[in-house]
Amino acid sequence: MADLEKSQNSDAEGIPAKPTFPEGGLKGWLAVLACWCIMFNTFGYINAFGIYESYYQATFLQEQSESNIAWIGSLQVFFMFSGGLVSGPMMDRYGPKVIIIPCSILFIVSVMLTSLCTEYYQFMLAQGVLGGLANGLTYTPKITAVNQYFFQKRPFAMGIASSGSSLAGVIFPIALNRMLNKSDLGFGWSVRVLGFLMLALSIIACASVSSNATRRKGGPLLLWKAWKQPAYTLQITGLFLVVWAMFIPFFYIPGYAQSISIDIDMSNYLIAILNAGSLLGRLLGGAVANHLGQFNTLAGASVICGILNFCWLSINSLGGMIAFSVLLGFFSGTIIGLFPATIAMTAMNPNEIGSYLGMGLGALSISGLTGTPITGALINSYGSYDPAIIFAGVCSIVGAVIVAGGRAYFVNSN
């Protein structure tokens, strides 16, 4: 009642009421649970693509280059982000369930179809296109739902929610490695086992997700006015470069480790170690952001990722790779946990958050699509991982500087 009274008084005075957020409650934390489950299925599944890349290179797709195989994972990233162009505005207008329920079914179908694939074009269509698109249509609504329930506690809530993908990034590589290389299950049933696990989590997500915003009616589908805000535009530009670099270690750590004589099992476990570090980064990064500021933490973590990538150039031992994987995982996890919250901060109203996130993720989809194939081509052309690693380091640091510029505009405009 107090909030309603405040809103009415504000309208009577001609001053727009400042949006209020529950900062939790049963529905708010159920939205976090739903987001956790879908992050497990979306980002978490993609985080394990390094295992698929290594396995495909050794089995089904021996005639394909690393760059060509990387396109499968890159398409997943592209559609996961670009799907927000459709699902973000739909979330603002219709709420989450109408999108998440059918698209979750579509995602499980894509996993089961992947288990039947043997040819390059089949993996591209089932895993890259269908899986990525289904991921993308569920990804934006559920992170929007969390941002609609939280404001002050948003970094903390998003950190918890996004930890689902890190935990998946620990579980999936270990499970896939053991099922593919240490059991008689074969590729088909190894992938189906993961599919049944993700089916159970999809059911939980569909049952628990909800929205806290009034549905947006009328007006343009996409809110182009967002791009007139320097804080939004600079942030997306900087994140474009950061995301360009972010997935390179997730895709190429196993191959790099094997190139310095680390055995296949241990090189695959490095992906799990990377994601274990990411889990800590997402949980602790949100707490740090509440003290240092969300933009400051995001930019700082991006700079550190760039520095770590340059350190990668001189690593030639298992101990060095483990330390690198833990540290890079921690700070990249901080980035992944925070960037949806900083994008949401620039939205004027809760029922615009979906559109702001959708447009931003649509732009980031281009960097997710092109980053790893570009670096895969560099690896094939130069016969070395060094050019790809330098590319990742430069992009992370330059991107961080641009994000910091967006932060300056945001502070000045508020």
SS (H, E, C) the chain: CHHHHHHHHHHHCCCCCCCCCCCCHHHHHHHHHHHHHHHHHCHHHHHCHHHHHHHHHHCCCCCCCHHHHHHHHHHHHHHHHHCHHHHHHHHHHHCCHHHHHHHHHHHHHHHHHHCCCCCHHHHHHHHHHHHHHHHHHHHHHHHHHHHHHCCCCHHHHHHHHHHHHHHHHHHHHHHHHHHHHCCCCHHHHHHHHHHHHHHHHHHHHHHHCCCCCCCCCCCCCCCHHHHHCHHHHHHHHHHHHHHHHHHHHHHHHHHHHHHCCCCHHHHHHHHHHHHHHHHHHHHHHHHHHHHHCHHHHHHHHHHHHHHHHHHHCCCCCHHHHHHHHHHHHHHHHHHHHHHHHHHHHCCCCHHHHHHHHHHHHHHHHHHHHHHHHHHHHHHHHHCCCHHHHHHHHHHHHHHHHHHHHHHHHHHHHC
Determine what percent of the chain is predicted with pLDDT higher than 70: 94
Each residue of 105-120: pLDDT tens digit?
A: 999 999 999 999 999 9
Q: Which residue has the tokens 């459709």?
A: 86
Q: Can you give the pLDDT at residue 290?
A: 79
Q: Can you give the pLDDT at residue 218?
A: 64
Structure token pair of residue 262: 């680390």
The domain of 131 spans 22-413
Q: Can you give the pLDDT at residue 147?
A: 83
> What's the pLDDT band for 10 if we cut at 50, 70, 90?
very low
> What's the pLDDT band for 7 if we cut at 50, 70, 90?
very low
Q: Check pLDDT > 80 for residue 278.
A: yes
Is the residue at 278 inside a domain?
yes
Q: What is the DSSP letter of 239?
A: H
Q: Can you give the pLDDT at residue 414?
A: 64
Is the residue at 281 inside a domain?
yes
Each residue of 365-410: pLDDT tens digit?
A: 888 788 888 888 888 888 889 999 999 999 999 999 999 998 888 8
Give the mean model confidence (pLDDT) for residues 321-349.
Answer: 89
Each residue of 11-36: pLDDT tens digit?
A: 333 334 556 777 878 888 999 999 99
> What's the pLDDT band for 9 if we cut at 50, 70, 90?
very low
> What's the pLDDT band for 4 if we cut at 50, 70, 90?
very low
Q: Can you give the pLDDT at residue 5?
A: 34
Q: Check pLDDT > 80 for residue 230.
A: yes
Q: Can you give the pLDDT at residue 83?
A: 86
Is the residue at 322 inside a domain?
yes
Q: Which residue has the tokens 């790779």?
A: 321
Q: How many domains does the chain have?
A: 1
Q: Which residues contact 91 (CB under 8 A, 6 or more apart)?
A: 99, 140, 141, 144, 145, 211, 354, 358
Is the residue at 348 inside a domain?
yes
CA dist 40 and 358 (Å) reads: 20
Is the residue at 5 inside a domain?
no
Q: Can you give the pLDDT at residue 1?
A: 34
Q: Check pLDDT > 90 for residue 89.
A: no
Q: Can you give the pLDDT at residue 318?
A: 92
Q: Can you give the pLDDT at residue 192?
A: 94
Is the residue at 14 inside a domain?
no
Q: Check pLDDT > 90 for residue 197.
A: yes
**DSSP H or E segment with residue 190:** helix 186-208
Smallest Cα–Cα separation from 72: which of 85, 81, 61, 82? 61
Buried b (16+ CB within 10 A) or exposed e, 390-412: bbbbbbbbbbbebbbbbbebbee
Q: Can you give the pLDDT at residue 19?
A: 61
Q: Decide which of 215 and 149 is more confident.
A: 149
Q: Which residues contact 58 (CB under 8 A, 6 or more apart)?
A: none
Is the residue at 17 inside a domain?
no
Determine what percent of the chain is predicted with pLDDT higher than 90: 32
Q: Check pLDDT > 80 for residue 280.
A: yes
Q: Which residues contact 179 (CB under 8 A, 6 or more apart)?
A: 185, 189, 190, 193
CA dist 308 and 151 (Å) reads: 31
Q: Can you give the pLDDT at residue 219?
A: 64
Give the mean model confidence (pLDDT) for residues 138-164.
Answer: 84
Each residue of 53-62: pLDDT tens digit?
A: 878 988 999 8
Q: Is the pTM of this model over 0.85?
A: no
CATH number of the domain residue 325 falls in: 1.20.1250.20
Q: Check pLDDT > 50 for residue 179.
A: yes
Give the mean model confidence (pLDDT) for residues 304-333.
Answer: 94
Is the residue at 317 inside a domain?
yes
Q: Can you give the pLDDT at residue 29?
A: 92
Q: Can you give the pLDDT at residue 6?
A: 37
Residues in the chain: 414
DSSP notation for 143-171 = HHHHHHH-STTHHHHHHHHHHHHHHHHHH
Q: Can you give the pLDDT at residue 14?
A: 39
